[in-house]
Amino acid sequence: MIQNERNARGEQILDIARQMMTAARTAPKGKGLDIIEIAMITDETIRELSGEMYRLAGETGLKFILRDAANVLHAGAILLIGTAQRTQGLDCAHCGFETCAGKPPKVPCAINAVDVGIAVGSACATAADLRVDTRVMFSAGLAAQRLGLLGDCGIVMAIPVSISSKNPFFDRKTEAPPETPST
């Protein structure tokens, strides 16, 4: 039997993304509380995410979101890592408020944000160990958050994953949106 690598990429990228999800899940958590949400999106959901990113770029005028909206279409899978908005009861003031009770509900708990960062780092380290191309995108995470792809998570980061001969997430160019963005 001969199996061409090009024909195995689709299956491999899903396996690698699942390993990245495992790494994110097992990453250390503040106070040992696991409030991290992790999902993988592919195919039509990536196109839906790209369409939302085009809308977001139009609303904000931020050109990097426009660039990223085109760029995520080169991913075979995208990992979404987020956290529920739940204070840790430490009254640590890292969020800028003296107590957890005094923190407005829309202000993220700093410990939650750190937990997302550690989970993202673990997932990206796994991708690097497996030699696949990734990039952490706040823009795609924000669009995923707006679409509710991770429920009501207040902080969401996205990691597009690609297996290609040239990393599509490096040397990126801003592209005009397509005639009709995917929704």
Give the CATH number for residue 54.
3.40.109.10
- Asked whether the predicted pLDDT for residue 180 surpasses 60, the reply is no
- Residue 183 inside a domain? The answer is no
Q: How much of the chain, in percent, has pLDDT values that exceed 90?
A: 66
Kind of pairing between the strands at 77-83 and 36-41: antiparallel
Give me the pLDDT at residue 179, please. Answer: 58
Instruction: Say if pTM beats, i.e. exceeds, 0.75.
Output: yes
- Residue 69 inside a domain? The answer is yes
- Asked whether the predicted pLDDT for residue 172 surpasses 70, the reply is no
Q: Which residues contact 7 (CB under 8 A, 6 or more apart)?
A: none
Cα gap 167→151, rounded to integer Å = 30
Report whether 30 contacts 49 (CB < 8 A): no
Q: How much of the chain, in percent, has pLDDT values that exceed 70?
A: 93
- Residue 15 inside a domain? The answer is no
- Asked whether the predicted pLDDT for residue 41 surpasses 80, the reply is yes
Q: The domain containing residue 95 runs over which residues?
A: 32-162
Q: How many domains, the chain?
A: 1
Q: Which residues contact 12 (CB under 8 A, 6 or more apart)?
A: 163
In this predicted model, which residue has the larger pLDDT, 45 or 171? 45
46-98, pLDDT tens digit by residue? Answer: 999 999 999 999 999 999 999 999 999 999 999 999 998 888 888 899 889 99
Give me the pLDDT at residue 178, please. Answer: 59
Report whether 172 contacts 64 (CB < 8 A): no
Report the DSSP beta bridge partners of residue 68: none
- Residue 56 inside a domain? The answer is yes
- Residue 26 inside a domain? The answer is no
